[in-house]
Structure 1
Amino acid sequence: MNKYFLLASLLSISQYVFADIKDNQDIISYTKDKKNEQISLLKELVDINSGTENKQGVIAVGEKVKPLLENLGFKVEWKELPEGMKHAGSLIATKTNNSSSKEKFLVIAHLDTVFPSDSSFQKFEYIDDKKKFAKGPGVIDDKGGIVTIIYALKALDHINELKNKNITIVLVGDEELAAKPTDISRKSLIDVAKDNSIALGFEFALNDNQLITNRRGLSEWYINSSGKQSHSSRIFEKDVGYGAIFAIANTLNEIQKELSHTNGLTINPGILLGGSHPIEDIEQGSGKVDGKKTIVSNNAIAHGDIRYLNENQRDYAKKIMTRITLNNLPLTETTISFKDIIPTMAETSANKDLLESFNQINKNLTHKSLSAVPSNDRGGADISYISKYMEGAIDGLGPWGTGAHTEKETIDLDSLETVTNRTAIFLKNYPNF
């Protein structure tokens, strides 16, 4: 009896899978037919340098995408940032077709990359004879996400389903290095989010079996230590003290000892300058300082970040770090300041439900299950700014590959077909799974 029961169960599952694939075969056939066209668009976008600071390059990518969305019936406009911010704004595309529907989708990706206009890494290039893999600046982060969105929408339009959907797309111009203050540079995104219910983020995936249901928050900190300048032969004497470099080193060491083993919390000093007259160029990621080996330093600065699971953990870290800076070495003084940058994307039951919806689609397409990425494995993203306004949010819906933010950034081109199918099927059927 058990064997017959098992066979019946397997047949039932097989029929369900077959029926589900059959119901969406028109989408699957379309994306398969358009694979080469989708890759060609990806190559065009990758070959346009759009490093965050290359404002005109970012705009050029947006202008390439704009008519494609207009041809699908979207109203598309640029939301510019103030001129002094020196970054491109966001391209926002809106299509409202069903005023009675509760489902209003906010789709998020970004136009910029981390690669400046003078980078040696500029072009899309196949890296194997079978053309299964390619490398290029932004090939997964995030131009792969952009072409996923466009061809998922094209697939829906092809089967006459796009007309039934309420979708807003925000393609941010400076995700990789948000212009400050972010309450201005992310205002357009936040304003749009308040009119929508489900957020879908198209950052790249780490692999073929994970999506993102939560993200850690991000804050930055600045430590400034001062000391008494003197000849090095007199360091540690009662009237000279320890100098600024020892002071800041002691502070960083104490922070490491007290907080490095806190689960989900990371604290990293990214730049350290000590001597005399240290100056950090934050925009360029560089600094300069005067000093000699024979002089006790009178000033040192450090700049770093904190990543945290929730606001309580952030506040705890700030409290401990502040307390440590008050415990000064002789004849030194240390201060610390903080600036919040990206809020957390909190784990919610609605986010988990979205994951399960994509999981069902993915199992039917690939026979593989999806799970949530541990929050420690990913940083912040634009979806974090708006998740608190949404009924549900999920990220990592773009294609997968390796080497993001490096000159080895590589895409698995077969993943484009999978994630495009997955997105189109989700939008077609949600919430009826």
Structure 2
Amino acid sequence: MKPLLHFIILLSIGITQSLTKEEKKIQQHVEKNMENAIDLLEKVVNINSGTLNIKGNKKVGTIFQKELDKLGFNTYWVTYPKEVKRSGHLFAEMRGGKGNKITMVGHLDTVFEKDHPFQKFIRQGNKAYGPGVDDNKGGIVSMLYVMKALNRIGKLKDMNLTLVFIGDEEKLGAHSSIVRKELIDAGKWADIGLGFEGAIGMETGTIARRSASSWILTTTGIQGHSSRVFSETLGYGAIFEASRIINSFRKELSNEEYLTFNPGVMVGGTDTSYDPVNASGTAFGKTNVVSQSVIVHGGIRTISMIQFDKAVKSMENIVSQNLPGTTAKIEFKTSYPPMEPTKANYALLDKLEEVSLDLGYGKLEPLDPSKRGAADISFVAPHVDAALAGMGPDGHNAHSADEWLDLSTFPKTTTRAAILIYRLTR
């Protein structure tokens, strides 16, 4: 057992402590400066940073970079070749030489590009509406104010921290082996990983997130007059073969816990074309002609790589059992790995719960992994001793024009995260 894991587990079964003098100062600083944090949130939400808006992402990132420079971080941008068509990522490093090494991750980009009508921050009491206000600008503002609170008590410069602000979380510009290499390296450097996407309720903690990968199924048939469909000479055609396969996926695999797969686009007929980058295609066919080709583009999510490998084998086996007169093949593309629910993650959640109880916020329960999608913390989690996600404030309706952030949770999750980091680095 790694020393850190042993340390976390011992702490997780210990007696809950009350807030120290310095922890109370953390709480006071966060609460006192929360309106400033909300003002900053409004400022960055009103700057469009859709994934494809390189200038917008750079502008938002530069705001955080200047703030982190003031705190003594070493900040820099990781960029990629022009053909990637993304802003790159902002990194901020503090190397104080003491305590556990922690990597934190959030993202600058949103799903709302410049041509989307949803562009404005609007505050209504404790609700803040706006593009990316929950996913993920509330989280990265919180991450900054965690650092400000730790600096206020004079402990920040004693810590070993890496903060990563991703510029293409919503749509990777290239394969993860290229555009997540530096994030993975930051995970290998660290002992603990924390993801600052939003919480889902103040009473839960995220100890796992499922993977996100894709698959493309291609089937072929023998073109001919439909009067002879099902015959030995023509067989069943590409559409029947694709239908058989997709329905078999549903029948044989849909009841497995945490495994989901979805055929998102299907193009079939006599002549087809498909662009997987833009998920769009064309098809031509006739009702009296047996279909010659089908392309199906889908996604798959799993809780572990073991589950993913098992599902791939099962799906490939189904694909291989062709109807007469047809062929089929399926190809998989991995994007986001799973953040698996390890014992160390549960133990780290216990530590966060201790902080929550000491602050009077209540107990925490592990969030059902099926309620979250993939995230960049999953590139860090396999390499650290323990990881948690959902460290940011609580939000709702992400990726929709009704996206909003619960501002009443903003100081609470920020304080909670700051005190957790303080305790983990003592």
Q: TM-score, length-normalised on structure 1?
A: 0.91
Offset, 1:78? 0.4
From 324, 328, 353, give the equivalent of 1:330: 324
The one-letter amino acid of 1:236's match is F
From 385, 398, 415, give the equivalent of 2:409: 415
SS state of the match for residue 141, structure 1?
helix
Match of 2:5 in 1: none
Match of 1:140 in 2: 134
From 373, 379, 382, give the equivalent of 1:385: 379
The one-letter amino acid of 1:139's match is V
Alignment CA distance shift 1:77-1:367 (3 Å): closer
Distance 2:380 2:423 in 1: 24
Distance 1:430 1:254 in 2: 48
Check whether the contact 1:217–1:307 (CA below 8 A) recurs between aligned residues: yes
Whether 1:90 aligns to 2:89 is yes
In structure 1, stretches of 5+ residues that fail to align are 1-15
SS state of the match for residue 268, structure 1?
strand
Offset, 1:253? 0.6
Whether 1:430 aligns to 2:424 is yes
From 119, 123, 126, give the equivalent of 1:122: 119
Check whether the contact 1:21–1:364 (CA below 8 A) recurs between aligned residues: no
Distance 2:34 2:20 in 1: 19
Match of 1:112 in 2: 109
Check whether the contact 2:267–2:281 (CA below 8 A) recurs between aligned residues: yes
The CA deviation string for residues 198-234 of structure 1, in whole angstroms up to 9 with x for no partner, is 1111011111111111222232211101112223344
Point out the more displaced range, 35-44 or 293-302: 293-302
In structure 2, stretches of 5+ residues that fail to align are 1-15
Percent identical residues: 38
Match of 1:25 in 2: 24
Match of 1:154 in 2: 148
Match of 2:3 in 1: none
- For residues 82-231 of structure 1, the aligned pairs below 5 Å read 82-97=81-96, 99=97, 101-126=98-123, 128=124, 131-231=125-225
The one-letter amino acid of 1:47's match is N
Whether 1:34 aligns to 2:57 is no
Distance 2:222 2:410 in 1: 60
Check whether the contact 1:21–1:365 (CA below 8 A) recurs between aligned residues: no
SS state of the match for residue 134, structure 2?
coil
SS state of the match for residue 295, structure 1?
coil
Q: TM-score, length-normalised on structure 2?
A: 0.92
The CA deviation string for residues 81-108 of structure 1, in whole angstroms up to 9 with x for no partner, is 22211112110001112x2x24111111
The one-letter amino acid of 2:68's match is L
Distance 1:67 1:23 in 2: 26
Distance 1:147 1:293 in 2: 56
Check whether the contact 1:106–1:170 (CA below 8 A) recurs between aligned residues: yes
- For residues 24-63 of structure 1, the aligned pairs below 5 Å read 24-63=23-62
Match of 1:350 in 2: 344
- For residues 310-329 of structure 1, the aligned pairs below 5 Å read 310-329=304-323
Match of 2:64 in 1: 65
The one-letter amino acid of 2:347's match is D
Instruction: Compute the RMSD of aligned alpha carbons.
Output: 1.7
Check whether the contact 1:212–1:373 (CA below 8 A) recurs between aligned residues: yes
From 244, 251, 269, give the equivalent of 2:245: 251
Check whether the contact 2:135–2:197 (CA below 8 A) recurs between aligned residues: yes
The CA deviation string for residues 359-393 of structure 1, in whole angstroms up to 9 with x for no partner, is 11112223311121122221221111121211211
Match of 1:76 in 2: 75
Distance 2:75 2:21 in 1: 34
Distance 1:417 1:304 in 2: 39
Whether 1:295 aligns to 2:289 is yes
